[in-house]
Chain A
Amino acid sequence: MKITKSHQRLLSVKLGLILALCMAAVHLLPAQNLDVSRSTVTKIADLLNRFPAENTAAFNQAMKQLADFEEEELTQMALMFSENANNENLEFALSGFAFHVSQNIDSEQTKKTVRAYGKALDHLGYDEAKAFLIEKLRIIGSDEAVKYLTTYLGSDRLVSPAARALASIRTIEAEKALLEALQDADAEADLLPIIQALGDMKSQAAAPSIEPYVLSGNEEIKKVAIYSLASIGAPSSAKILTGAALAADFQYENTNASAEYINYINNLAANGETKSAVKLATKLHKSANKEGQFHTKAGALNLLASLDPGKSAKLLQKAAVSPQAAYRNTALALIRDNISDDLQTWTKILAKADDVVKVDILRTLGSLEGDAVLNVIRPYFQSNSPEVKKQAIASGVLVGENQILADLLALVSSSSEEELKAIQGALLSMGGDNVGDEVATALPTASAQAKVALIQVLAARANPKHMTVVLAEVNSGNSDVKRAALEALHRLAAPSHLDQLVTLLKSEQGMQELKDVQKAIIAANTQHQSSSQQTDWALKTLQALDKSKQVYLYDVLARAGGTRALNSLNEIYQKGDAQQKKAALGALSSWTNAEAMDVLFAIAENDANAENANTALEGYINLVKATSSANEGKVLMLRKALEVSKSTATKQLVLRQLSQYPTFQALLVAGNFLDDAEVQQQAARAVMGIALAEPSLYGKEVRAIVQKTKEVISGQDSEYYKTSLQKHLDEMPQDEGFVSLFNGKDLAGWKGLVANPIKRQSMSAAQLKREQEKADEIMRSGWAVENGLLLFTGKGDNLATEKKYGDFEMFVDWKITEKGDAGIYLRGTPQVQIWDTALVEVGAEVGSGGLYNNQTHPSKPLKVADNPVGEWNTFYIKMVGDKVTVKLNGELVVDNVVLENYWDRSLPIFPEEQIELQAHGTYVAYRDIYMRELPQNKRFELSAEEKQEGFEILFDGNNLDKWVGNKTDYVVEDGVIVIYPDRGGNGNLFTEKEYGDFIFRFEFKLTPGANNGLGIRAPLLGDAAYAGMELQILDNTADIYKNLEQYQYHGSLYGIAAAKKGFLKPVGEWNYQEVRVKGDDIQVILNGTEILNTNIAEAKQKGTLDKREHSGLHRDKGHIGFLGHGDVVYFRNIRVKDLSK
């Protein structure tokens, strides 16, 4: 139906293109006037279906449409709110538009919106909708909004939002409205928001009226009145607020009188009454002296510092040495920036102060700069108070940085552990190239405790030239120093230190010591240029070590990496004693790339020691992400891990990783664990991660798994997860999706192979039945189901599906053994190849997945993507028409290649046939065989009857050859015309030919809220609903259409005659419709029911229901067309009989 404004605008925007020039011209010319004839209800409904906007561009486009709405139309839209209904789209639209126009509240557009929403406010029937609009006025309101809001200042439920809206509007008009309401208010509940709003907007005029409420017996009113008066800051309020603060004893209580008093004085000053403000602040500062009042005193000090900086300097100095810490530190923060100007005074103050005060002053000095400041601090490096000394050091380094290096080093040997920490912190955060050298120089002569701190500083700086001095300390008799030195080694180690480190490895005995040396060796060795050099060094050194020390080189080998290191460690693991085994396994499972995976898996699978097997498996699982495989391949690896997993921990690890690889199989695997209590939650999170990341995964099985996940997921945030999963389910297509062809238990759905498709075709039914029975017998000897796998044991013939398939997508996992050879027949035809790539004598080195029997089209796969023999592989096969696409382990190996007809090469491939698993004499296992049938592009054909009657096909599923117009948005997909709203096309789709009297038959499928129309006797030019006639095509079950006129429902002759409602199939199902047009008679038969039978003669003479000009009524012929490209709608099987012939 109706082309909406935005579409028209889109037209003119996109029309720069020369393409389809004739159509473009047709739509350009009358575009500016088209919308005048649109009914508001239709425009609104059309628009509401666009919300919520998917992105900013869509949002802005919808906003443009709204911007073109008349004020009354906006009002009408706002009036669509209805209690207990779903107003979601309306909320998106109205709020979105308010936000959109809020940027400039003085614009005409915004004022128009205010008036529109304001008028709706007056007429809406229930409070929640009103509150919604009032909040919009809060965002966009100016004086324009005041009169609409004023109404609600007397309403119990709405006074609060209305008053807040006025407070945000903050104009004189808004203030006036609130003031008047304050005079009129009789209920105390109404007073609260009004008084508060006047305070929020700092209404000077309101002060005298609010002041009496400070004495109210109602605590809430009193509180709000104090807040508002403080915020207003009128001189007249001084007395009453002083009284309230005094009554609160300068402490916090429910009315906030004390703190608001400080705000009051501040605002009084802001209003220009500085003198009075200073007076009040001075008095407050003097009066608040009790314990419990010091934070108020601090507040007063704060005021004085800003209001009277000159006089407050002395006060601040005094406060800076107050025993009240919070008060003191407030003073120091306030005076901080002035300290540098009067350093002499502060030197004296500091000298006289108590230690706690000294600390605070020194901390404050640390935020200043300059040598003079450093000089004030410096003497306190020697303080007897550890706290003072530490703060002096911390502040000293901030101010003096590298200048205090010598001071600090001179201090180290006489400092306590706590003080050393401060010195160390200072040294670490100090810049300068000399720090390391000076520290290294000081180290040998320092006290033991100081040595520890200095070694740590050298370690942090990590300069290898300081290794010597640290190595010397490894031999220290002091265990702390030795420990620190050992821990520092790896930071300082370079390849040149390797010999010394090996010497240490030989001489040290403690396990921790050896670990430290090992770490240093790794650090040094990994600085060698190549992995091979690193391995050489490690293998050579290994031989020179005692057995007990050799284990420490295993991790060195692991970090070196490479096949030689891997094999050496594996050999040690296989042949070594318990200690060697453990160390070697540790090294193997810390491997950093995928090369160790096979070794680790073999250990996980075969080692009888459960702990070792587990460690290896964890190592294997952790390396999956390091492989370069596609997601499908990684999922296979994780499934492999699951098969040998014996612990909950490894299962959980696998499930956590699965969620990173959102494939169909990953979802199925995770779904299998939803009943396993130990890992249920990990499984649920994996399913959620996969499903939400990959919306293309849908169908019955997926739906069931997601549904179950929603039921079982628990723990923190699970309520949100449930919300998201339900949303996902709601949006998931209802199609059956992939269905399993193999139930894991028996051969149900499968049969034996009888001959080939051509021969079977030639057999009689009885003969075929006999042959089938024989074949089934043979099948049972060769094919078996074991442990959920479908196995071919090497005897017999192909296994075939009972069902035939045309176009489809399928998944199948397969596994072969050495010299294995098999294949998958598509439509009864060989084959997607499966073989052991070692069979080079038959050319298998090209890999599996190719269309082996092709002669003219490619028969080899694009690449080798096979997993080693004995491992699972996974195929994704898609066949559409005669073309096949294959992915093996996630890699594309066949890209849309024709499958030739092997049985008769002169023929194209059969349109549909059975799927077969080839029997080729070797063992094959299959699992997870899933199939999704695709709708085939079957050509629509007329029935014999229609042929005889003289029907002509307009669309048979293949092309739009008999159509003109918008072929950008109207496209053919899977044998169906689909309309995509956002492809940028222009206008409608019309038959090429014109028809006067006719019978038009077609099928259509709607999406929720979809809107289209069938134009008849229409010109290519102009709005077909008026310039021709239009029969509505509309999902009038949608909420957004509830206000439509009768003559706008599906099947109606738009604006002229109403159709019967209630005969549409549910949204998403196909409808069949016949339209008969003869002279003035128009009939519509929907799904077998006549929903319209009208004669337009009367309308021609006396006018139409919608009281508009329908010039099209007088046309005797025109095009038939689909009108509107704003929604996704599907059409198929379209044919027409021209009755005028």
Chain B
Amino acid sequence: MNDNLKSSRRRFIKGSLLALGGISIVPRHVLGKGFLAPSDHLTKGIIGVGGMGRGHFQYAGTKTVAICDVDQRHIKIAMDALKDPGVKTFTDYRELIRLPEVDIVHIATPPHWHGIMSVDAAREGKDIWCEKPMTRTIGEGKKVVEAVKQHGNIFRLNTWFRFDANFYGMNTEVKKIKKLVDSGMLGWPLKVTVGRLTGFDWKFFWVGRTNLQAEPIPKELDYDRWLGPAPYRPYNAHRVHGTFRGYWDYDGGGLGDMGQHYLDPVQYILGKDNTSPIKVEVDAPQQHPDAVGTWRKIVYTYDDGCQIILDGEGTEEAPYIAGPQGNLYIGFKSDIPDMERKLAQFPDPAPQVVDFVEAVKTRSKFALNEENGHRSGTIVNMGLTALRLNRTLHFDPVKQEFIDDEGANRLIDQPMRAPYTI
């Protein structure tokens, strides 16, 4: 194996490398008093109990003790499902965050709230489980990274593809792909294509509607609080539950909502966890300023020439990963003869901490945390920004700003509607 390649690839792993094996402590309330039994449950409060939030009641090793939603209908459905009258309910997430009995704040709201709530939970010293996508803007992501670092919290961004056993239609665990890339067998730089033929169909149809007419606000919904930091717009049912993904103010369609699932593992595989692409190009119809539309293709380029291609039409007959010395296809097939056997002689990637309860108990960084989560979220947001502006953008991964493009940078930092601040 090529030693240079090995050490350069492995160095970045170290920054986020965590404890190995299962140390079982609950230090939260009894910090420093010793190692605790693995059977101890962590308590959590869930903000946003629509479809996504309700799906996480039963995560192993945790117990839901509080829920929060701005829609009373959601609260009612959630309480029925929880079958525990002791669970506290709130409409203001800040009250839930302040509960001393809550260890973990679980954020399952639409993305325009993720930044504020993550930062506020960090400020209360809580550990955080935040659903993907990380934040709606690059600016908010930076704030989350800063707050978590400041207060010493454990943060999990919830997409699991970077360590899942059946990584999106590749029919293999991502670890093997990572190992192949780290082995150098494919060569460098690499080109990763994500589309229908390589594992994911972007045609999610998560588009918004234009020409929305104002409708009366349902009495069970606190619409103003639902909007929160987002600009005020007259209510229409299509903006909120279930269909909010189709509007730029809250999310960014299929790419905004699902993109991080598929881009995060790519960052990990390519060893780009602490950086970002330097360029993004789009091929798309013009986007409406309010409603998200479809797109055909998005291409990201890193400073070393690696590329990620998002094939929105599902027509690219490309390998999942193309390299100068070989290609990897869906199903872990390769044009390198006897690839799997050759690969076996290489070391595995370093183990990751993939159990959130363990991460919290041992104060270890979770495998997908605020830092690498923010970086993969940045790819999503770079793409969305380029789509909206309909032009190629250049990005400085260190300053985390677009280069020579004031309009793009004003989409990185979007002032919030008072009194919401981050």
Contact of A193 with B284 at beta-carbon distance under 8 Å, contacts A131-B231, A394-B19, A463-B344 already known: no
Q: A102 and B231: CB pair below 8 A? A: no
B123 in contact (CB, < 8 A): yes
Residue with the highest number of chain B CB atoms closer than 10 Å, among A140, A161, A258, A387? A387
Return chain B residues, CB-CB under 8 Å to A274. none
Q: A322 and B246: CB pair below 8 A? A: no
A422 in contact (CB, < 8 A): yes
* Partner-contacting stretch, out of B56-64, B107-115, B345-353: B345-353
In the complex, per-residue mask of B185-217: 1 if CB is within 8 Å of any chain A CB, else 0: 000000000000000000111111111010000
Within the complex, which residue of B209, B211, B407 is in contact with A139, where a contact is CB–CB below 8 Å? B407
Shortest Cβ gap from A24 to chain B (Å): 31
Shortest Cβ gap from B138 to chain A (Å): 15
A527 to B122, CA, bound (A): 55
B37 in contact (CB, < 8 A): no
Return chain B residues, CB-CB under 8 Å to A325. 27, 31-32, 363
Return chain A residues, CB-CB under 8 Å to B22. 418, 421
In the complex, per-residue mask of B252-292: 1 if CB is within 8 Å of any chain A CB, else 0: 00000000000000000000000000000011111111100
Q: A360 and B415: CB pair below 8 A? A: no
Q: B388 and A99: CB pair below 8 A? A: yes
A749 in contact (CB, < 8 A): no
Shortest Cβ gap from B55 to chain A (Å): 11
Q: Which of B352-396 contact A (CB under 8 A)?
A: 362-364, 388-391
Q: Which of A413-447 contact B (CB under 8 A)?
A: 418-419, 421-422, 425-426, 428-433, 435-436
B170 in contact (CB, < 8 A): no
Shortest Cβ gap from A291 to chain B (Å): 8
A529 in contact (CB, < 8 A): no
Residue with the highest number of chain A CB atoms closer than 10 Å, among B22, B153, B286? B286
Shortest Cβ gap from A1017 to chain B (Å): 40
Contact of A259 with B123 at beta-carbon distance under 8 Å, contacts A103-B391, A252-B97, A354-B32 already known: yes
B149 in contact (CB, < 8 A): yes
B15 in contact (CB, < 8 A): yes
Within the complex, which residue of B346, B350, B421 is in contact with A196, where a contact is CB–CB below 8 Å? B421
B410 in contact (CB, < 8 A): yes
Shortest Cβ gap from A63 to chain B (Å): 9
Return chain A residues, CB-CB under 8 Å to B153. 295, 326
B305 in contact (CB, < 8 A): no
Return chain A residues, CB-CB under 8 Å to B398. none
B399 in contact (CB, < 8 A): no
Contact of A720 with B246 at beta-carbon distance under 8 Å, contacts A253-B98, A460-B344 already known: yes
Determine the residue in chain A with the shortest Cβ distance to B287.
A52
Contact of A196 with B18 at beta-carbon distance under 8 Å, contacts A91-B289, A716-B51 already known: no
Within the complex, which residue of B25, B100, B151, B288 is in contact with A295, where a contact is CB–CB below 8 Å? B151
A430 to B179, CA, bound (A): 12
Q: B19 and A140: CB pair below 8 A? A: no
Return chain A residues, CB-CB under 8 Å to B390. 53, 56, 59, 96, 99-100
Q: A220 and B285: CB pair below 8 A? A: no
Q: B32 and A55: CB pair below 8 A? A: no
B125 in contact (CB, < 8 A): yes
B91 in contact (CB, < 8 A): no
A435 to B51, CA, bound (A): 48
Q: B415 and A327: CB pair below 8 A? A: no
B14 in contact (CB, < 8 A): yes
Within the complex, which residue of A58, A259, A422 is in contact with B20, where a contact is CB–CB below 8 Å? A422
B81 in contact (CB, < 8 A): no
Q: Which of A105-154 contact B (CB under 8 A)?
A: 105, 128, 131-132, 135, 138-140
Q: A102 and B345: CB pair below 8 A? A: no
Return chain A residues, CB-CB under 8 Å to B287. 52
Q: A88 and B32: CB pair below 8 A? A: no
A52 to B288, CA, bound (A): 8
A391 in contact (CB, < 8 A): yes
Return chain A residues, CB-CB under 8 Å to B283. 55-56
Return chain A residues, CB-CB under 8 Å to B288. 52, 88, 91-92, 95
A367 in contact (CB, < 8 A): yes
Q: B151 and A326: CB pair below 8 A? A: yes
Q: B344 and A461: CB pair below 8 A? A: yes
Determine the residue in chain A with the shortest Cβ distance to B389.
A99
A200 to B25, CA, bound (A): 41
Q: Which of A252-299 contact B (CB under 8 A)?
A: 252-254, 256, 258-259, 262, 292, 294-296, 298-299
Q: B418 and A359: CB pair below 8 A? A: no
Determine the residue in chain B with the shortest Cβ distance to A51.
B286
Q: Which of B286-327 contact A (CB under 8 A)?
A: 286-290, 293, 296
Shortest Cβ gap from A401 to chain B (Å): 8
Within the complex, which residue of A58, A84, A357, A429 is in contact with B350, where a contact is CB–CB below 8 Å? A429
B136 in contact (CB, < 8 A): no
Return chain B residues, CB-CB under 8 Å to A391. 19-20, 23
Q: A193 and B418: CB pair below 8 A? A: yes
Determine the residue in chain B with the shortest Cβ distance to A254.
B94
A355 in contact (CB, < 8 A): yes
Return chain B residues, CB-CB under 8 Å to A102. 389, 405-408, 410
Contact of A429 with B351 at beta-carbon distance under 8 Å, contacts A105-B406, A252-B120, A720-B246 already known: yes
Return chain B residues, CB-CB under 8 Å to A223. 419, 421
B169 in contact (CB, < 8 A): no
Determine the residue in chain B with the shortest Cβ distance to A158.
B232
A292 to B29, CA, bound (A): 10
A251 to B97, CA, bound (A): 12
B85 in contact (CB, < 8 A): no
Determine the residue in chain B with the shortest Cβ distance to A222.
B419
A87 in contact (CB, < 8 A): yes
Within the complex, which residue of B20, B243, B282 is in contact with A390, where a contact is CB–CB below 8 Å? B20
B6 in contact (CB, < 8 A): yes
Within the complex, which residue of B207, B348, B415 is in contact with A723, where a contact is CB–CB below 8 Å? B207
Q: A161 and B27: CB pair below 8 A? A: no
Return chain B residues, CB-CB under 8 Å to A298. 150-152
A195 to B6, CA, bound (A): 53
Return chain B residues, CB-CB under 8 Å to A398. 14, 17, 350
A1005 in contact (CB, < 8 A): no
A330 in contact (CB, < 8 A): yes
Return chain B residues, CB-CB under 8 Å to A103. 389, 391, 404-408
Determine the residue in chain A with the shortest Cβ distance to B362.
A359
Q: Which of A380-430 contact B (CB under 8 A)?
A: 387, 390-391, 393-394, 398, 418-419, 421-422, 425-426, 428-430
Contact of A720 with B124 at beta-carbon distance under 8 Å, contacts A139-B410, A224-B418, A429-B349 already known: no
Contact of A54 with B238 at beta-carbon distance under 8 Å, contacts A252-B97, A326-B363 already known: no
Contact of A323 with B33 at beta-carbon distance under 8 Å, contacts A224-B418, A367-B15 already known: yes
Contact of A168 with B415 at beta-carbon distance under 8 Å, contacts A131-B231, A720-B246 already known: yes
Shortest Cβ gap from B296 to chain A (Å): 8
Within the complex, which residue of A56, A160, A426 is in contact with B232, where a contact is CB–CB below 8 Å? A160
Shortest Cβ gap from A1086 to chain B (Å): 31
Interchain residue pairs with CB less than 8 A apart (12): A88-B288, A91-B210, A105-B406, A128-B234, A164-B414, A167-B415, A252-B98, A252-B123, A356-B25, A367-B17, A422-B21, A462-B340
Excluding A104-B406, A431-B6, 18 further A-B contacts by CB distance (< 8 Å) are: A52-B286, A56-B391, A91-B210, A92-B286, A101-B407, A103-B404, A128-B233, A193-B418, A221-B419, A224-B421, A253-B98, A302-B150, A391-B19, A428-B348, A462-B340, A463-B344, A721-B205, A727-B207
Report which A residues bind B (CB closer than 8 A).
Answer: 51-56, 58-59, 84, 86-88, 91-92, 95-96, 99-105, 128, 131-132, 135, 138-140, 157, 160-161, 163-164, 167-168, 192-193, 195-197, 199-200, 220-221, 223-224, 227, 251-254, 256, 258-259, 262, 292, 294-296, 298-299, 302, 322-330, 333, 354-357, 359-360, 363, 366-367, 387, 390-391, 393-394, 398, 418-419, 421-422, 425-426, 428-433, 435-436, 460-463, 491, 692, 716-717, 719-721, 723-724, 727
Top 9 A-B residue pairs of the complex, sorted by shortest distance between their CB atoms: A102-B407, A323-B32, A295-B125, A462-B344, A394-B20, A330-B152, A95-B289, A326-B152, A252-B124
